[in-house]
Amino acid sequence: MRVTFAGVGEAFDENLPNTSILVESGTSSILLDCGFSAPGPVWKLGDRAGRLDAIFVSHFHADHYFGIPALLARFAEEGRKERLTILGPTGIEGRVRRLLEMAYSNILAKAGFDVYFLECTPGDEFKHAGFNFAFAMGDHLMPCLALRLTADGKSLLYSGDGRPTDSTRKLARGCDFIIHEAYALNRGVPGHGTVEAALAFAAESGARACALIHMDRAVRHAKKDEIMGHIASLSGLHGFLPEPGDTFDV
């Protein structure tokens, strides 16, 4: 699996676009979250973004799914014919249809491709579009699904927003790569993780690498040295702060 970080930021970072991650395996690809500032950086990935099979929405905060109308409108403009799957928590179809209607009224009726919605709940496991999917609930301000994706014999876990829970720890066990939100450095923020907790979560899972994403803009920009020092003190785990456009082979 190849992971490309289109965006790595939190909701309101003026420098880093919302977290949005392209995962590719063979000819299959899925975008993990697509917030309001994500479409531009996703389009910069060129054809690879144009060939998307699926979009996964971890939860219904705007920095995780309000970019979908722009993405779909450009697909329609470019003459896409292939079906697109949109996966997300309970209510995904109604939410996205309402959003599309407000943004570009009637776009799905006019588009030359079908959209297939797949509602996911914690504990679900299935195969779709070339990937194995499994889900668990994180501890966020609203229900948020952590996703375990498996392909080519490798697994990654994407936390979405939120602190680790017993369920997400269980889901992460044996994963090769962890992508975890680390909104705060070490101080607890309700419904959000920390750098320390994310790295401990990854170490406990047995993963060899951990990408820290969705970091509070003040922490990411002012405390980078401290964060890198913390990462450097770890042994056996490669922790890093991806930049937009970075790739990682799992």
Q: Which residues bind Zn ion (CB under 5 A)?
A: 61, 63, 161
Minimum CB distance to Zn ion, residue 26 (Å):
30
CA distance 182 to 22: 19
Integer CA distances (angstroms), 69 to 94, 96, 106, 110, 214, in order? 14, 8, 11, 13, 22
Nearer to Zn ion, 139 or 161 (CB): 161
Nearer to Zn ion, 7 or 239 (CB): 7
Minimum CB distance to Zn ion, residue 215 (Å):
11
Tracing tokens 């702060």 back to the chain, one arrives at: 241
Minimum CB distance to Zn ion, residue 97 (Å):
21
Tracing tokens 């996964």 back to the chain, one arrives at: 56
Which uninterrupted H or E stretch holds 42? helix 39-43
Tokens of 171: 């889901």
Residue 171 and residue 182 in contact, taking contact as beta carbons nearer than 8 Å: no
CA distance 151 to 131: 5
Nearer to Zn ion, 13 or 161 (CB): 161
Nearer to Zn ion, 61 or 223 (CB): 61
Nearer to Zn ion, 53 or 63 (CB): 63
Minimum CB distance to Zn ion, residue 140 (Å):
6
Minimum CB distance to Zn ion, residue 60 (Å):
8
With a CB cutoff of 8 Å and minimum separation 6, the contacts of 213 are 5, 8, 9, 19, 21, 179, 180, 181, 182, 242
